Amino acid sequence: MGTAIEIKNLYKYYRVGDEVVKALDGVDFEIMEGEFCAIVGTSGSGKSTLLNMMAGLESPTKGEIIIQNIHIEHLNEEQLVRFRRKFVGFIFQSYQLLNTYTALENIALPLSFRGIRKKERMRRAEAMLKEVSLEKHRNHRPTQMSGGQQQRVGVARALVMEPKIIFADEPTGNLDTHTSRDIMELMRKTIRGTSRSLVMVTHDSDLASYADRIIRILDGKVISIEVNPHDDADTADTSNNNDSTL
């Protein structure tokens, strides 16, 4: 596996009145293809700013962001849209599902932006529903599903585009502890043995323990990078009982 993301000497400054706030202060690291990486920090640490930088949603004050060998800090907004459409999937804390769409339709929606025909969109969405064990909920709308089920739809929607990079922003922030663990297992499963990279931002060290590598950030600086030699057997596999609990 090669390098998926390179962050080099990254800075982000904001001016608040007469004060300059350093949201990111010289950040350096790499994320490999096929790696699940957790970026961990408290509120105000700079972790969400860092995620936004990598997703091309904010521009850096200084530094380099290289994803799939593309310097995204040099891209204009139109190029960034095309870049995200081609390479990136998102999993949100608040699910961001359309309430008037069924689970199947929510999953298929991103494919329409690529001009894929409806029959093929639905075929791919059906396959992803099966992947996240939600076949029984294909015609349910978000208000008819639990939080865990909605987040499974969110994971499927991110994956249906077959992205190289998946960004997850506090993906279990609205879920209870048991359901959070199920979602973390699902997210690990989706990239295991693939070249996809998953980058998750969280404040929760317990959730970060599911990742292959943990990057800790404080006051805009990386303070540690830990390789996590977790054993898959150490974490209970709840994928077979998710329909009753999610």
The burial of 206, by beta-carbon neighbours within 10 Å (0-12 exposed, 13-18 middle, 19 or more buried), is given as exposed
Residues of the chain with pLDDT under 50: 232-246
Give the pLDDT of residue 198.
96
Domain at 234, CATH number: 3.40.50.300
Give the global pTM: 0.87
Tell me the residue range of the domain where 38 lies.
3-96+146-245
Give the pLDDT of residue 34.
93
Question: What is the Cβ-side half-sphere exposure of residue 127, based on CA atoms within 13 angstroms?
Answer: 10
Helix (H, G, I), strand (E, B) or coil at 120: helix
Tokens representing 29 are: 């690291």
Write out pLDDT tens, residues 158-210.
999 999 999 999 999 889 899 999 999 999 988 888 889 999 999 999 999 99
Residue 184 lies in a domain: yes
Give the pLDDT of residue 234.
47
Structural domain tally of the chain?
A: 1
Give the pLDDT of residue 91.
92
Residue 116 lies in a domain: no
Residue 129 lies in a domain: no
Give the pLDDT of residue 231.
55
Residue 197 lies in a domain: yes
Residue 50 lies in a domain: yes
Look up tokens 């992803």; give the residue: 128
Residue 114 lies in a domain: no
Neighbouring residues of 175: CB distance < 8 A, sequence distance ≥ 6:
147, 148, 151, 183
Tokens representing 76 are: 């204009």
Residue 103 lies in a domain: no
